[in-house]
């Protein structure tokens, strides 16, 4: 019953799952979702190793990380990495890797759960680009601009405001008006 329950869990289509041989990285078992994420049929996927589906720039780093799991200095590894889709594209994935050891402590299998985070990575990049554009706009406006939190602490300011206070943004962020002007004036501003 436990084997059947495990098999049903393993085959659920919400996350890619794989079991690898620690000696050569060969697939011992994998689910259809992992194959579909990377664009391969089950038969095609069987001919590949984890190195074959890893972005070439991540392979060396992955060997180091996996080496710690195989050596026993780490039981688990969680990491974001890039995988190669069959069509040549890049899939960003969050991996959770666990070593399964025998009674003598040797690694028998490597269990891996793979979640596609490509959309999240692209959304974060678009957000970074948007923030960079906003920052450029903020810095080029000749008017003084600043932003404070609900406690009156500076969160950001532009160059015009830096010149007005005679301080750098790094010296202003996190401060309140009371640190630049008298308590009485700071209270009036607040």
Instruction: Give pLDDT, residue 66.
Output: 78
pLDDT tens figures, 5-25: 666 777 777 799 999 888 877
For tokens 């697939």, what's the residue?
27
Cβ proximity of 40 and 86 under 8 Å? yes
Residue 105 bridge partners (DSSP):
none
State the average pLDDT for the chain. 89
Give the global pTM.
Answer: 0.72
Question: Which comes out higher in pLDDT, residue 149 or 11?
Answer: 149
Least Cα distance to 65 among 55, 51, 52, 79 occurs for 79
Distances in whole angstroms, Cα of residue 123 to Cα of each of 40, 47, 68, 120, 164: 26, 33, 32, 5, 36
Average pLDDT over residues 149-173: 94
Instruction: Give pLDDT, residue 31.
Output: 92
- Using left for φ > 0, alpha for ψ between -120 and 50, and beta otherwise, residue 105 falls in left
pLDDT tens figures, 81-116: 999 999 999 999 999 999 888 898 888 888 999 999
Least Cα distance to 66 among 36, 21, 104, 105 occurs for 21
Instruction: Give pLDDT, residue 20.
Output: 87
Is 153's pLDDT higher than 90?
yes
Share of the chain above pLDDT 70, in %: 95
Average pLDDT over residues 30-40: 94
Instruction: Give pLDDT, residue 181.
Output: 84
């Amino acid at each position: 019953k436990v084997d059947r329950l495990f098999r049903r869990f393993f085959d659920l289509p919400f996350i890619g799952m794989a079991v690898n041989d620690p000696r050569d990285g060969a697939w011992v078992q994998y689910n259809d979702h992992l194959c579909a994420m990377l664009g391969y049929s089950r038969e095609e996927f069987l001919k590949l190793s984890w190195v074959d589906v890893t972005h070439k720039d991540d392979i060396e780093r992955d060997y180091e990380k996996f080496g710690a799991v195989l050596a026993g200095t780490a039981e688990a590894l969680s990491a974001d990495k890039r995988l190669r889709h069959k069509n040549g594209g890049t899939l960003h994935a969050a991996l959770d890797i666990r070593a399964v050891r025998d009674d003598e402590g040797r690694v028998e299998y490597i269990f891996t759960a793979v979640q596609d985070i490509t959309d999240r990575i692209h959304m974060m990049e678009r957000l970074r680009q948007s923030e960079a554009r906003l920052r450029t706009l903020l810095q080029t406006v000749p008017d003084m601009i600043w932003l404070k939190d609900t406690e009156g602490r500076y969160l950001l300011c532009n160059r015009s405001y830096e010149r007005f206070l005679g301080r750098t943004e790094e010296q202003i962020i996190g401060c309140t008006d009371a640190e630049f002007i008298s308590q009485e004036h700071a209270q009036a501003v607040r």
